[in-house]
Structures are given as C-alpha cells and as structure tokens.
Amino acid sequence: MEPRLLSTLICEDILFNADNALSLYRAVFKRQTSSVFPAQMKCLYAVTIWLGDGRVDQRVLILSPDKSEALYDCFGQIQLAGTQQVAFANRFQWLVWPAPGVYWLRVLNGQQLIGDDVPIVIEAEPATQGSPV
C-alpha cells in the first residue's frame, strides 16, 4: 500500500507514552496573538498521521504568508506499518513571526507535496482603549 497522509495537526505540546500512543496538549493550534512584532513562540509541533507501507522522508516547512519563502524547515524519516496508523511529530522551537498574517505549514514526502497547505494565523492583539477621564 502506497504511503498516504491521513491528517496534519498543529499543537503547542505533545507526549508519546511508553506504548507510542500520542497525546496532544494545549489544544490544537488555531491562531497566535501578540502585542509586539516580530513575535516569538517557544514551541510548535506539526503532527502527521500516515498509513501504508515503506518509508516516508517527511519534510515540513513553515512558509511566509505569500508562500515565497520557507521560514522553517524540519526533516524526519518515518517507517510505516501497513494497516496500522503511524503518528510522527516535528518540533519547531523559538519561532519568530516577522509580522501578523497567515503563514502556511506544508508537508512533503521527499520533494513531493502531500495534501494541502495548513494555515497558521498570527494576529496582532487589538489595541486597548484608555480609561475615560
């Protein structure tokens, strides 16, 4: 069976237990807000779930909002187990978001694009109004 990407999740923390079962922590990532830019983020995980036979040479990119530049690049090799789903996590540390916008997470097997790019929304916190005098 040809390798097939079943899903891609983005979250802030994960844990694999002794049985290699995956737990996601701090919810699935949807957006990040910051009051200053460039903004820093300590950690972000891209978790992929695969099915099939053989090996996947996974590459995960975080792209600029216009998709013209790879800001972060992570590699990993995954050995698939036939009809059993295999989870794999790429960890990105100390990310710097230059400006608010929609950034993109892209998954590849070698050089082949797999699935659709996943949006990562980085927003500026709304300015707070001063108290009336």
Report the CATH number that the domain containing residue 119 is assigned in CATH: 2.60.40.1930
Asked if residue 17 is part of any domain, the answer here is: yes
Q: Concatenated DSSP letters for 58-95?
A: EEEEEE-TTSSSEEEEEEEEEE-BEEEEEEEEEEEEEE
- pLDDT for residue 32: 85
Q: How many structural domains is the chain composed of?
A: 1
Pairing of strands 4-16, 39-52: antiparallel
Asked if residue 132 is part of any domain, the answer here is: no
- Local structure of residue 18 (DSSP, 8 states): T
Asked if residue 129 is part of any domain, the answer here is: no
The burial class, CB within 10 Å (0-12 / 13-18 / 19+), for 83 is exposed
Pairing of strands 4-16, 31-34: unpaired
Which pair of structure tokens corresponds to residue 111? 């050089």
Q: Quick: pLDDT tens for 76-105.
A: 999 998 999 998 989 999 999 999 999 999
Which pair of structure tokens corresponds to residue 16? 């694999």
- pLDDT for residue 29: 65
Asked if residue 117 is part of any domain, the answer here is: yes
Asked if residue 131 is part of any domain, the answer here is: no
CB 40 within 8 A of CB 32: no
Asked if residue 105 is part of any domain, the answer here is: yes
- pLDDT for residue 119: 93
Tokens 């230059």 correspond to what residue?
98
- What are the residue ranges in the chain where pLDDT is below 50? 131
The pTM score is 0.86
- Local structure of residue 99 (DSSP, 8 states): S
- pLDDT for residue 27: 56
Residues of the domain holding 93: 4-123
Which pair of structure tokens corresponds to residue 112? 């082949």
Asked if residue 128 is part of any domain, the answer here is: no
Asked if residue 97 is part of any domain, the answer here is: yes
